Structure formats: C-alpha cells, structure tokens
C-alpha cells in the first residue's frame, strides 16, 4: 500500500468516525492530547475540528465580502441612475411661446407699454387739454383719443388670440413632461422633469400677466377717453350757449327774377 493510499484511508476512517450519530454509541470523551495512529499517519481530531471551524469562518467571511461587494455595486448603479440627466427638454418650446407673447405686447399701437410714453401722451391728450383750442382742434384731439382706445382694444384681442394659441403647445409639453417624470430612472431625471413642469407653469403665468396687462390697458384708455370727452363736451356746450350777436332781421329773396 502506498503512502498516499494510507493517508486517504486514514482521512476516510476519521471522517466516518466523526460523522457517526452520537445516539448509536456511548459518548467517549477523548483527551485533547489523544492521537490516533494509522501506520505512519498521526491524526489529531481536535486539530481537525478546529481546522474545519476556521475554514467555515473563512468561508463565511468570503461570503460576507461578496455580499458587501454586491451591495456596493448596486449602490453605484443606483447612483449612476440618480445622476442620469433627463433626455428631454421643453426649454425651446417654452421660450418660443414667451417670445410670441412679448412680440404681441411690443406691437402695441399708438401707446406702448412704456412709462414715459404713457405720461407724455396722457399729458397732451387727456390730463391737460387746451380748452382754448379751436373747435376743429378739439375734434381732432377727440379723434386721437378714440383711435387710442380702438387700438388698445385691438391689441388686447391680439394678445388674447396669442395666449389661446399657446394653449395647445402647453398641453403637448405638459403631457410629454409628465410621461418623462413617470418614466424617470433616477432622482435627477425626476427633479429635472419637475423643474420643467414648473417652467411651463411660469410661462402660463407670463401669458396670463400679458393678457391682464393688455385688457387693463384697453379699459384704462377707454375710461380716460370718456373722462376727456366729458370735459371737452362741457367746454363745447359752454361755447355753444355763450351769448353772441343778436339776431338782425333782413330781407330775403326766395325766387330770383319774380314779382
């Protein structure tokens, strides 16, 4: 029998002896220093058991390390998802809608949305009317004020049409952003989708502000025209009722060449 075969038989015998159920044989307490000899092989059961425990502990540590590495890998994957940028942007569409509204406000007729110009025209045509002007001049001023009111009403309707035209674009962008938010793979994508929805709402508020400004301008000019017309009417009525030269009777000829 070779030396290797002897070692194998010894290991198998020792394993068999250690694996026997305790209920089948009486418990035999072997001192820790007891050794079994099989030919040239010396087997120490306590050392063998200790080696098995150490191997089990080492295997458990390896399993723990593997689990830790898996957790770290998953954490990195989640971080990568959280840092992924949203592949969709509605900024261009929002900016175009805002620019269309600004363009309509910039095309205001006669009186622009500009403080100095408003002060200048109101001072000339509404607040400080020259009541010493001729009747023809007063009529021309009234026509100018009427033109301002009509132009403001038209501007308000144009802004209204522009705001209504933006509604479809806003609806489509809101639908896209909600879809992107629901399908977001990480926190960054969800946050970016939410920010774009807030930007869309800000654009809607901008349209609403422009609409209120245009309507308010038209209402203000209409009220100013009525106030100026009332003042001008009082002056023209005063002139009409002012005593003038008395009626002088004279001869009137109804038919020429008749008797």
Do 190 and 99 share a structural domain?
A: yes
Counted domains in the chain:
2
Range of the domain at 184: 91-241
Rounded to two decimals, the pTM is 0.63
Q: What is the pLDDT of residue 74?
A: 83
211 assigned to some structural domain? yes
Residue 217: the pLDDT is: 94
pLDDT tens-digit series, residues 75-101: 888 778 777 888 889 989 999 999 999
> Which of residues 67, 83, 99 is at a domain's end?
83
Q: Which token pair is 208?
A: 């609403």
Same domain flag for 24 and 139:
no
Is 98 part of a structural domain of the chain? yes
Give the model's pLDDT for residue 156. 95
Same domain, 47 and 135: no
Query: 95 and 76, same structural domain?
Result: no
What residues of the chain score a pLDDT lower than 50?
Answer: 1, 3-5, 7-8, 10-35, 259
Burial pattern 1-14, b for ≥16 Cβ within 10 A else e, equals eeeeeeeeebeeeb
pLDDT digits (tens, 9 = 90+) for 12-60: 444 444 444 443 444 444 444 444 555 566 667 888 888 888 889 999 9
Confirm whether 254 is domain-assigned: no
Chosen domain end from 83, 115, 130: 83
CB atoms within 10 A of CB 209: 12
- Asked whether residue 104 is assigned to any structural domain, the reply reads yes
First to last CA, the chain: 178
One domain, residues 98 and 217: yes
Q: Considering the domain boundaries, does residue 126 fall inside one?
A: yes
Same domain flag for 78 and 138: no
Q: Is the same domain home to 57 and 130?
A: no
CB burial readout 28-51, b (16+ within 10 A) else e: eeeeeeeeeeeeebebeeeeeeee
Query: What integer pLDDT is reported at residue 225 of this predicted model?
Result: 93
């Amino acid at each position: 029998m070779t030396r290797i075969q002897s070692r194998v038989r010894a290991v198998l015998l020792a394993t068999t002896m250690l694996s026997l159920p305790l209920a089948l044989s009486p418990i035999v307490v072997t001192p820790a220093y007891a050794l079994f000899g099989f030919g040239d092989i010396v087997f120490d059961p306590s050392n063998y058991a200790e080696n098995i425990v150490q191997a089990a502990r080492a295997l458990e540590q390896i399993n723990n390390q593997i689990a830790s590495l898996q957790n770290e890998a998953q954490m990195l994957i989640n971080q990568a998802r959280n840092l992924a940028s949203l592949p969709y942007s509605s900024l261009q569409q929002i900016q175009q809608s805002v620019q269309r509204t600004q363009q309509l406000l910039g095309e205001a007729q006669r009186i622009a949305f500009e403080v100095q110009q408003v002060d200048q025209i109101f001072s000339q045509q509404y607040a400080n009317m020259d009541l010493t002007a001729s009747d023809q001049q007063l009529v021309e001023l009234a026509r100018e004020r009427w033109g301002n009111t009509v132009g403001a009403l038209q501007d308000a309707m144009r802004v209204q049409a522009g705001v209504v035209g933006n509604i479809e674009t806003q609806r489509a962008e809101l639908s896209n952003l909600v879809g992107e938010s629901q399908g977001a793979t990480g926190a960054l994508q969800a946050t970016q989708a939410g920010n774009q929805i807030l930007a869309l709402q800000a654009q809607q508020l901008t349209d609403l502000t422009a609409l209120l400004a245009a309507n308010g301008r038209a209402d203000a000019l209409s009220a100013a025209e009525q106030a100026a017309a009332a003042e001008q009417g009082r002056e023209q009525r005063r002139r009409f009722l002012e005593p003038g030269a008395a009626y002088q009777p004279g001869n009137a000829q109804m038919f020429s060449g008749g008797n």
